[in-house]
Chain A
Amino acid sequence: MNREIYITDYNCVTPLGFDVEANWKALLEGKSGVTLRKVIENHEAFYVSKIDSEKLDEEFIKHFDNQNFTRLEKMFLLSLKPLVDRHSISDNTAFILSTTKGNISLLKNETTLPEGVYLSKLAQKLADFFRFKTKPIVVSNACVSGVMAISVAKNMIQAGKYEDAFVVAGDEISEFVISGFNSFQAIGSEPCKPYDKNRNGINLGEATASVYITSELNQKEKFKFKILGDSAINDANHISGPSRTGDGLFASVQNAMKEAKVSSDQIDFISAHGTATLYNDEMEAIAFNRMDLQNVPLNSMKGYYGHCLGASGLLESIISMESALKNTLIPSKNFEEMGVSQDLNIITENQSAEIKYILKTASGFGGCNAAIVLEKC
């Protein structure tokens, strides 16, 4: 019998606020972090969800003495600190970091690699700051990293390697990433519209998010969500485009639900990936229909936060759990008219609902997909 694994605490740092409470309030009011910003010199502005750097510094200086950190590191530290304050770190505590590009901004105009661009160095710097005793684990699986980081914590605790884990996920807006998605013509020319008929691409975003995951409950938890099942299956189809048949996502959802022993009609809410590219959203609609999940209330958070890459899956999982605790479903922002070929039950306004079982999914470059099933306990 596998050990039961729970998420019992979380925090996030986003353009909508520096804790979950502020974020939740902004979401209820329908606010979005997405604005038109100049990111690359001599280049047109893009719609992005970016944290105000001055506000970030102000917040950071309130909580930390040492200011010798990159912008992204400050975001990570701010996100993790409340969790480290509330839960102790033992010899058997894992530290798991999810990111795609880490401190990639340090590479600009360099002729050799600065140490800080190594993801393991970034992870070790954060781990040392909070005095983690185990070696950090970095999950770098493109845009599914944030969801997978939860799976990795669950699996490594079940393997008996750790008792608990601090999981942190983050990526920042960088010229590197913006130029790349732009070269793919994947960036939308307006605030993104997941699943909408007029969607034309993603908005990039930035955030950090943290969760505390444990197998040992102490009855002091304010809430708990059991991680019932997980899976991350590759499409084996194309490295830069999703499968037309949704194979990998379908199989990931199927596996995760099988492990969770939860059927399609038990799922109360789907927090989907919904990037607002033509192919991704269509692929998701096909995969969810293959799983008979088309009637389950579903949203994409990309209209509020943009696509935060390695942070998105963890951030969206946190918002899903907050949704379940508050018994409130949040609309899929900017969705107006159905733009995928198959039915989906897309949430269009704040509505109250009893949410017990959550399905969270993500898909990304390299043909990767991930799904987890969470239960509010």
Chain B
Amino acid sequence: MMKKTDICTIENSKIILNEQIIFESETENFSDFAKEAYKTLELNYPKFHKMDNLSKLAFLASEMILKNDDHSNTALVFANKSSSLDTDFKYQESINSQDNYFPSPAVFVYTLPNICVGEISIKHKIQTENAFFVLDVFNEEFLNSYATQILQSGKAEKVLCGWVELYQESYKAFVYLLTT
């Protein structure tokens, strides 16, 4: 049987871990909210500031659960609806103008949704199974089935699953840890 051991939700300018509010802010703007959360929770990881908003969202939620525990055998299975469209849109704006055509590699790399999973892997140095899916609505049963298959085949001991949806100021993260 699968057990869900920790759950973190981020929405409406609140971070909730296992039903307890651990951070909330008056700020509605996501970038400012993420920056405040980063400072208040003393995350101390300067690379955070270079990430796009989707990665910041996924990173914050994962950080609450992974903390400093040993996760060398924790797989990551994430999904969302809007893929990387938030960054795609900004990147496209930068190339729409023929006269002002300066595409940025630092922005371009975030035009892939799985980059957020890479960011979490790098932070915790976890070389494990990764998957990113795009679904039109959150389907926990699907993520859990995929995670179960990873656990049953012995490819990981735990799986961090997550729905990390963000487009402009609309966002929601629901991240949880599954073990057998």
Contact = CB atoms under 8 A, between A and B. Distances in A.
B113 A140 contact: yes
Interface string A356-377: 0000000001111000000000
Contact of A161 (B88, B92, B145): B145
Nearest to A309: B112
Contacts of B167: 113
A282 interface: no
A259 to B, nearest CB: 6
Contact of A118 (B85, B103, B121, B125): B85
B155 A140 contact: no
Interface string A163-189: 000000000000110011111100000
B121 A140 contact: no
B134 A156 contact: no
A368 B130 contact: yes
B127 A180 contact: no
A119 B79 CA distance: 12
Contacts of B142: 137, 161
Nearest to B122: A236
Contacts of A255: 155
A365 B109 contact: yes
Interface stretch (B7-15, B146-154, B172-180): B146-154
A233 B112 contact: no
A248 interface: yes
B31 interface: no
A41 interface: yes
Interface in B72-125: 76, 81-83, 85, 88-89, 91-92, 95-96, 98, 101, 103-105, 108-109, 111-115, 117-119, 121-122, 124-125
Interface stretch (A99-107, A292-300, A311-319): A99-107
A2 B150 CA distance: 13
B132 interface: yes
Contacts of A77: none
A120 B146 CA distance: 18
Contacts of B126: 234, 236
B89 A141 contact: no
Contacts of B89: 107, 113
A281 interface: no
B-side interface mostly: mixed
Given A120-B81, A365-B109, A176 B92 contact: yes
Given A113-B89, A140-B112, A142-B112, A259 B153 contact: yes
A251 interface: yes
B118 to A, nearest CB: 4
A141 B89 CA distance: 19
Interface stretch (A16-24, A63-71, A237-245, A325-333): A237-245
Given A120-B136, A159-B148, A175-B95, A183 B88 contact: no
Contact of A101 (B81, B98, B111): B111
Which of B126, B129, B130 has its CB near the most chain A CB atoms (within 10 A)? B130
B146 A107 contact: no
For the side of the interface on A, what is the size category?
A: 35 or more
B135 interface: yes
Contact of B146 (A101, A159, A251): A159
A156 B127 contact: no
A124 interface: yes
Which of B109, B115, B145 has its CB near the most chain A CB atoms (within 10 A)? B109
B139 interface: yes
B98 A365 contact: no
B63 to A, nearest CB: 15
Interface string B62-74: 0000000000000
B135 A183 contact: no
Given A135-B139, A236-B122, A180 B96 contact: no
B161 to A, nearest CB: 14
A155 interface: yes
B136 A180 contact: no
A108 B155 contact: no
18 contacts: A2-B153, A107-B92, A118-B82, A120-B135, A120-B136, A121-B136, A141-B132, A155-B149, A156-B145, A159-B146, A161-B142, A175-B95, A183-B108, A184-B108, A233-B129, A240-B109, A259-B153, A365-B112
Interface of A: 2, 41-43, 100-101, 104, 107-110, 113, 117-121, 123-124, 135, 137-142, 148, 152, 155-156, 158-159, 161, 175-176, 179-184, 231-240, 247-248, 251, 255, 259, 365-368
